[in-house]
Amino acid sequence: MKILTAEQMQQVDRLSTDLYGIPSLLLMENAATQTTLAIERKYGAVRGKRILITCGKGNNGGDGAAVARQLWMRGAVVDVLLLGELDATAGDARVNFQIVKQLAADDDSITFGELRTSENWQELAQLFPAYDLIVDALLGTGLQRPASGLYASVIAHLNRISAEHAVPIVAIDIPSGLAANNDQIIGPTIQADLTVTFTAPKPANVLPPACYRGGELVVVPIGSPDSLISQSGAALNLLEPRHIAHWLDRTRRTPLSHKGTYGHALLIAGSRGKPGAACLAAEAALRAGAGLVTVATVSSAQTAIISRVAEAMTELLSETPDGAIAETAQDRALGLALERTVVAIGPGITTSDGTRRFTEAVVRQRNRPTVIDADGLNCLSPWPSNLSGKEIPLILTPHPGEMARLANASTRHVLDNRVAVARDFAVKHSLILVLKGNRSLIAAPDGQIYVNPTGNAGLATAGSGDVLTGIIAGFLAQTPDAPLEATQAAVYLHGLAADLAAEALDMRTLVASDVIRYLSQAISQTANKA
């Protein structure tokens, strides 16, 4: 699903009218209908409920006025509060405000008020705890600076009423106070329980921390043709279960298949005292569906790996006196790779000087699609400018600290510019980059970014990255010709497995092996959404 900036969304709306003759007033009406339906799906029938709709003077407020009419038609008692004067509104918004005002003159189950001063606000605010629901239509996607004055006061009061009296807030398109294109919270912002956004999500709807002000996100169509969305030039995308389900369908087991059908993953992992990372990655690759998994490791780690992951094979690599992979092991590793489908390198290999040289040699001379994680990334930091994934795919999976070392930047810079950092690095080096963290990002060589909606803070535990490496390797072994799709499926399902584990176990007690344990359930749940 495309994620559109405010400007791209405005263009889609305009072209829907200019090219297809869809009146903008009809788009607003469709938005109101979809919002009303979303409210009833979440909160039940509105008949007899008392609902407050707070509106700004722009089109977001016009949406709110149209929603008010829809709710009133379904039997709700609705109060519409316009922050400003009706005479200061224009266009489609003014049309809907005038309709509500006229209805209010004839029916006391719908009211219309104009809030002009802070004093008026203080009087009205005393009534708010009596509402069953509040609809936020104050500020839309055009906001670029922090809300201030009366708007800031209203936002703060609505949040307080919602929190203290358990009155849910539904935001139309975007919680008021957020800047649609900004993942940061720029000022006073509504804390919504439900956000109904139109046509496509905006960056602030899906990127943290801004996205957490929206509660549950529902994306609804309002009549704009899909062709306009696909031609919008948007480079941000939201991963959806149906997209992952298509990849799962492609790798579905068939009666005539055998273990060779599903690829052979080579994991270069482990060192003395660090066999656990190799074990987690190997078990994850097997659970992900790879037909065969071989762990190339040092003798110091081999026994522990064999004892824990009986289904995996092992191959020995020469080691240093400290128990790490030696530089001299590169020819052996490259030979093993030739006989496999994909390679993953990094979990638990350390960053000793010899291992660094080994890692760079293997990655430079690779002959198979290669996943690099953990110590493998640190061995290649800062990333060599002449190392590219153009000919043979490279998939990197750094957390923000590792990304900072790869890009020779500060961790703060990475965290503040996640989309730009991931995109620039992936494009510059022609590779796939998974920037792990809150709403992990997948950056493709063509500049497209995919936002993963699954996962939780329970993944902030040792070994969760090793599990992701194994799942990517296992999926890639099954579709080595589709590295981006395999990576998307792995990141999504890794996060979903963690979500399922957290529901059953609580985030605080979640460990990396729990993610492996719930991977099967995540796959089954998603496969049904094709």
Q: What tokens were used for 208?
A: 């943290």
Using alpha carbons, select from 454, 434, 439 the residue that is nearest to residue 522.
454
Please state the three-class secondary structure of 482-524 as a single string: CHHHHHHHHHHHHHHHHHHHHHHHCHHHCCHHHHHHCHHHHHH
Q: Kindly report the pTM of this predicted structure.
A: 0.95
Say what the pLDDT of residue 187 is: 97
- State the CB neighbour count (10 A cutoff) for residue 130: 12
d(CA 426, CA 250): 26
Buried b (16+ CB within 10 A) or exposed e, 92-120: bbbebbeebbebbeeeeebbbebbeeeee
CA distances from 245 to 241, 242, 450, 529 (A): 6, 5, 16, 6
Using 50, 70 and 90 to split pLDDT, how confident is the model at 364? very high
Mean pLDDT of 137-146: 95
d(CA 4, CA 280): 38
Mean pLDDT of 420-430: 98
pLDDT at residue 123 greater than cutoff 80: no
d(CA 180, CA 143): 7
Using alpha carbons, select from 331, 458, 332, 344 the residue that is nearest to residue 393.
344
For residue 405, the one-letter residue type is R
What is the tens place of the pLDDT at every residue in 69-112?
999 999 999 999 999 999 999 999 999 999 999 999 999 999 99
Say what the pLDDT of residue 127 is: 66
Say what the pLDDT of residue 121 is: 73
Q: Which of 117-131, 249-263, 356-370, 476-490 has the lowest mean pLDDT?
A: 117-131
Say what the pLDDT of residue 235 is: 97
Say what the pLDDT of residue 130 is: 86
pLDDT at residue 530 greater than cutoff 70: no
d(CA 10, CA 4): 9
